Structure 1
Amino acid sequence: MNISDAIIRITNLRLRTYIGFNQDEMEKQQDVIINIKIHYPAEKAYQTDNVEEALNYKVITKQVIHHVEEGRFLLLEKLVADVLDICTQHVWVKYASVTVDKPHALRFADSVSLTLEKYCD
């Protein structure tokens, strides 16, 4: 059977962190919404039905939560890059994309978001 890579999507992970460089942003946590997409070859996982052959998205999510909630970030770019690094640490990951939304960052917009992608060897 020739099946494409598995795509894991972590959708609307809602966390709070210090994000921004204005004084009030540095003193008060803000909401962020994180969306992650990870591609990896899952052939062994679906053939064996063995948990050890699958990419553990719960482990990745816990690492993201810890890093974001314990961190302080001046720029959205840094936050997104850090989360992307966490998502691409496992050798099976072929590609990952991370989007972080910062709700209410602009007066007349629902949110501001930034996306970074990485193709892995």
Structure 2
Amino acid sequence: MTDARTATIRIKDLRLRTYVGIKEEEINNRQDVVINIRLLYDADQAIRNNDIEAALNYRTITKNIIAYVEGNSFALLERMTREVLDLAMEPEAVLEAEVEIDKPHALRFSDSVSVTLGASRQRS
């Protein structure tokens, strides 16, 4: 549960292209993926002092995710989701994160298939 000091940052609809899947056409051709990330962190110092240095740098997190996803290939959507979640949890300030990755048009008659994973660290 969040309190007044805990900020939620949402990175919505990050559209990237990568290799994901097990079929030959998936292994050889980049596909679109859509990533949504929810990050929770203690924003008390950032709010109190109006200090960017105390805020979570979501731009750096996003740049790291973009480079990683576009620079790698993945057999399973679950594996890619786990690795993106690990990147989202890297900064010590992140208390909780949730990552959902959609693979558009993965199934006939469906807009997309997605996998969602979450993680949290103990608060002191």
Q: Same fold (TM over 0.5)?
A: yes
For residue 31 of structure 1, what is the amino acid of its counterpart?
Answer: D
Deviations 1:51-79 (A, max 9, x none): 11000000000000000000100000110
Question: Offset of 1:20 from its aligned partner?
Answer: 0.2
- Equivalent position SS for 2:109: coil
After the TM superposition, list the runs of 4 or more consecutive aligned residues in structure 1 that deviate by more than 4 angstroms: none
Deviations 1:11-62 (A, max 9, x none): 0000000000100000000000000000000000011111110000000000
Please report the TM-score for the alignment, with normalisation by the length of structure 1.
Answer: 0.97
Is 1:69 aligned to residue 81 of structure 2?
Answer: no
2: CA distance, partners of 1:3 / 1:117: 22
- Equivalent position SS for 1:114: strand
State the match for 2:58 in structure 1: 57
Is 1:46 aligned to residue 47 of structure 2?
Answer: yes
Question: Offset of 1:88 from its aligned partner?
Answer: 0.4
- Equivalent position SS for 2:9: strand
State the match for 1:12 in structure 2: 13
Segments of 5+ residues of structure 2 without an aligned counterpart are none
- Equivalent position SS for 1:80: helix
Q: Percent identity?
A: 47
Aligned residues, how many? 120
